[in-house]
Amino acid sequence: MCGAQKIARFLAFLSCILTTFACRSTSTMADAWPTPSSCKGRVLQASDMYAMDQAPTHTQWLVLSGRDEGDVIDLITTIDANHVVTIDEPQTRITKIQWRADGSCALISVDSVEQGTRSVFNPPLLMCDRELKCDAPLQSESPMQAVLIEGGAPRDSGTGTRTITMDGMSLITTPLGTFDCVVVSARLIGALSHATMECSVTTWIAPELGAIAERYSEKIKILGVFTKQFERVIVKLPKKL
């Protein structure tokens, strides 16, 4: 195989590794949602943010636009005896989160099932302390490794850095109804040896329901020259009767 072919295959493989965090996009409904207002004095529990205490659950979400626009996706959440929460979007992505005794949670790994790759954080990357307070961003960092799902062979490594912030309150309407939501944004930067990945997610969290809407954007640069960008917005659907 010539050098150019090897480089092309390597670029394609790195693209597969870093598309672990799926693509998402903007929509007419989401564009109508107001800019978050002040959240001064508000405190959000991690359990409310990620609804870990509701597992096991099977929820459905509508893709408003972006990849798979108009499709309904399933999210299946389970928790095992070791307090590891698994969020499974069948045939697409599997996320494992460590639910800790102090009420905090941390990201263990994310599988991109379609591409056969896994992003591993060791030690797990802190997602949120027990509480998230307004105007008090939380930043965490952990070694990150990209491996094959089958066999675990390493393909790239570096550092993952995540920042989470409570942006404010926002009254939004979704298929579930109209709710005054806490708006939380998180940004993850994966700085690997051969690539960098930046993904940002904004989540609207309704009282007693947890997340009801999410906007996600992602940008990947491989070897400093190859760039991919994705966006998507999803909204939670009512339970089937």
Q: Ranked by mean pLDDT, which of 9-13, 15-19, 152-156 comes out on top?
A: 152-156
In a domain, 241, yes or no: no
Could you list the beta-strand ranges (E) of 193-225.
Answer: 195-206, 210-222
Range of the domain at 209: 3-236
In this structure, are strands 93-99 and 117-128 parallel, antiparallel, or unpaired? unpaired
Q: Reply yes or no on whether the pLDDT at 20 is more than 80.
A: no
Q: Is residue 15 part of a domain?
A: yes
Residue 147's pLDDT is 95
For residue 71, tell me if it sits in a domain: yes
| Burial zone of 238 (CB within 10 Å; 0-12 exposed, 13-18 middle, 19+ buried) | exposed
Residue 226 has a pLDDT of 67
8-state DSSP, 44: E
Which of 175, 239, 185, 158 has the alpha carbon at shortest distance from 212? Answer: 175
pLDDT of residue 6: 46
What is the count of structural domains for the chain? Answer: 1
d(CA 21, CA 217): 9
The pTM for the full model equals 0.83
Considering the domain boundaries, does residue 204 fall inside one? yes
pLDDT bin (cut points 50, 70, 90) of residue 14 is very low
Domain contains 24 = yes
